[in-house]
Structure formats: C-alpha cells, structure tokens
C-alpha cells in the first residue's frame, strides 16, 4: 500500500475516519472504504488475523490458479479522502501442517472437513468469522447443514457482509507441495479443504495484509499536531 500525505487534510481525514470506525466497531469484521465512496464498504478488516478482505467474493467469475494470482496482484484502489493507493492484494494463504499434502480427517487437520482454522485464511473466514459448518461432523456423520441451513444445497449459509459469495471452490495462493501442478483450495459448497489442479477454473477472493485504515505512526501524529498548531496560530493572527 502506498500512502502519499500530500496535505495535512489527507492525514486528518484518514485519522478521523479510522478513529470513527474503530471506536464503534467491535466485530471481528470491520467495514473499510477503498475508493472514498460514501455509505459503502469495498473491503472488510479481520481484526483476528490483521488482514483485509475484498468485499466482492466474485469479481471475474471462475479462473485458473495462474489467472487468479495475476488478477489479485493487479488489483488497485485509490482513496482520495486519505490519499491512499491500496495495491498489495493477493490470494489467501494455506498452511500445510503435518506431512506434506493432505492430512485428511473430519476435524483438526489441514485437509478434509472442519479443518484447523489456523490452517488457512479461508478456513478462518468461513468457520470463525462467518460461522458456517462443514457437511460432515467431526465424527464423519452428516451435519445436516444442507437440510437445516438457510441454503438447502450448500453449507455456505452465512455470507456476512460479503457480496457474490459462491458455493464452490475458492483458490488459495499456496501451492500443493506434493504436486506442483496443484494448489490448495477451500470448497464453500461443503466446507472442505484440499488440493486441486491449477488448470481448473475456480473462484477467487482477494486479501491483503494489515488494515487499510491503520492508525498513523508516531511521525504522522507529530505532523498532525504540528499542523494543528500552525492552523491555530494562523487563526489567532487573523483574529
């Protein structure tokens, strides 16, 4: 992310927006403005993982793994209110735990159902932030998620504040170690995680590190205070 504080106003507006959001928002997903539009959020900040998700979960439709990576890397938003260019997007990461590859289980591993939410950013979003279930319980029984949820044909019952979330595979940016021609995926249809061939066409949800509305660093505070002092001094002279 490139931040260009060309004016004191940009810094002050950015600080005001940030303080206004963080002072009232307590949920793990907090709305973030990427383009200076009023009354809408183009991204959501995950306070648990310190990452920011793009709000639109289906920008371009299904893509191969290479195309999805290129798409995410080329995403760029400019916010004129804070004078920020946000262009450090990527695909979500997956952590290959245990032996390389799929340690299939019905819970607690990197592959299968009810996976360890620390094994991937998508798993954390799906289970922890959105509160969805896997098709199978931790014992391998039918969880009833299809029949009992709001979506009778998918375990993606809760999409939260996101738009265009699909009940399908979503790419991870992490390759599948045992087979370089494959990459990790998360399937929102049944809440499972596994590897798939990179030439398949799946959906992609972009994410970036940190918060786009991060509180300014100490030197920015010093600039802001100095600017406020200058404004006050000029106002007193004019008065």
Q: Which domain holds residue 114?
A: 104-204
151 shares a domain with 177 = yes
Least confident stretch, 95-99, 181-185, 231-235:
231-235
If you average pLDDT over residues 127-137, what whole number do you get? 97
User: Is 46 inside a domain boundary?
Assistant: yes
191 shares a domain with 213 = no
118 shares a domain with 71 = no
Average pLDDT, the chain: 86
pLDDT at 105: 98
User: Is 112 inside a domain boundary?
Assistant: yes
The residue whose two tokens read 């290129």 is 70
168 shares a domain with 115 = yes
197 shares a domain with 166 = yes
Cα–Cα distance, 2 to 101 (Å, whole number): 36
Residues 6+ apart with CB under 8 A from 230: none
pLDDT at 55: 98
pLDDT at 68: 98
User: Is 127 inside a domain boundary?
Assistant: yes
User: Is 96 inside a domain boundary?
Assistant: no
For the chain, percent of residues with pLDDT exceeding 90 = 74
H/E stretch holding 238 reads: helix 218-238
7 shares a domain with 38 = yes
If you average pLDDT over residues 113-134, what whole number do you get? 98
Confidence of residue 229 (pLDDT cuts 50, 70, 90): low
pLDDT at 24: 37
82 shares a domain with 153 = no
Residue 84: which of 42, 46, 132, 142 has the closest Cα? 42
Residue 126: which of 170, 90, 88, 174 has the closest Cα? 170
User: Is 180 inside a domain boundary?
Assistant: yes
Confidence of residue 213 (pLDDT cuts 50, 70, 90): confident
**Angle between the 8-24 and 218-238 helix axes, to the nearest 10 degrees?**
120
In this predicted model, what pLDDT tens digit does every residue of 1-29 receive, in sequence order?
665 544 444 444 444 444 334 333 446 99
179: tokens are 């087979």
Number of domains in the chain: 2
113 shares a domain with 181 = yes
For the chain, percent of residues with pLDDT exceeding 70 = 78
Which residues share a beta bridge with 157? Answer: none
39 shares a domain with 72 = yes
191 shares a domain with 111 = yes
User: Is 97 inside a domain boundary?
Assistant: no
Cα dihedral 166/171/173/176 (nearest 10): 150
pLDDT at 148: 81
114 shares a domain with 146 = yes
User: Is 144 inside a domain boundary?
Assistant: yes
Confidence of residue 147 (pLDDT cuts 50, 70, 90): confident
Other Cβ atoms closer than 10 A to 76: 13
User: Is 161 inside a domain boundary?
Assistant: yes
3-state SS, residue 21: helix
Please give the C-alpha separations between residue 123 and each of 92, 120, 185, in angstroms, as whole numbers: 10, 5, 10
45 shares a domain with 6 = yes
């Amino acid at each position: 992310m490139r931040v260009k504080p060309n004016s004191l106003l940009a810094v002050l507006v950015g600080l005001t927006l940030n303080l206004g959001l963080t002072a009232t928002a307590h949920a793990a997903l907090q709305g973030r403005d990427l383009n200076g539009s009023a009354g809408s959020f183009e991204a959501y900040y995950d306070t648990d993982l310190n990452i920011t998700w793009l709000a639109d979960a289906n920008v371009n439709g299904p893509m191969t793994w290479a195309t999805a990576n290129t798409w995410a890397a080329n995403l760029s938003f400019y916010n004129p209110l804070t004078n920020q260019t946000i262009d450090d997007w990527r695909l979500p990461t997956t952590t290959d735990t245990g032996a390389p590859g799929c340690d299939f289980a019905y819970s607690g591993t990197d592959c299968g159902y009810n996976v360890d939410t620390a094994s991937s950013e998508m798993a954390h979003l799906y289970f922890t932030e959105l509160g969805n279930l896997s098709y199978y319980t931790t014992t391998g029984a039918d969880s009833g998620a299809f029949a009992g949820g709001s979506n009778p044909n998918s375990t993606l019952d809760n999409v939260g504040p996101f738009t265009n979330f699909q009940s399908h595979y979503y790419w991870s940016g992490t390759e599948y170690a045992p087979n370089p021609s494959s990459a990790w995926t998360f399937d929102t249809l049944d809440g499972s995680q596994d590897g798939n061939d990179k030439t398949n066409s799946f959906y992609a949800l972009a994410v970036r590190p940190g918060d786009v509305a991060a509180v300014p660093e100490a030197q920015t505070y010093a600039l802001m205070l100095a600017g406020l002092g200058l404004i006050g001094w000029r106002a007193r002279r004019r008065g």
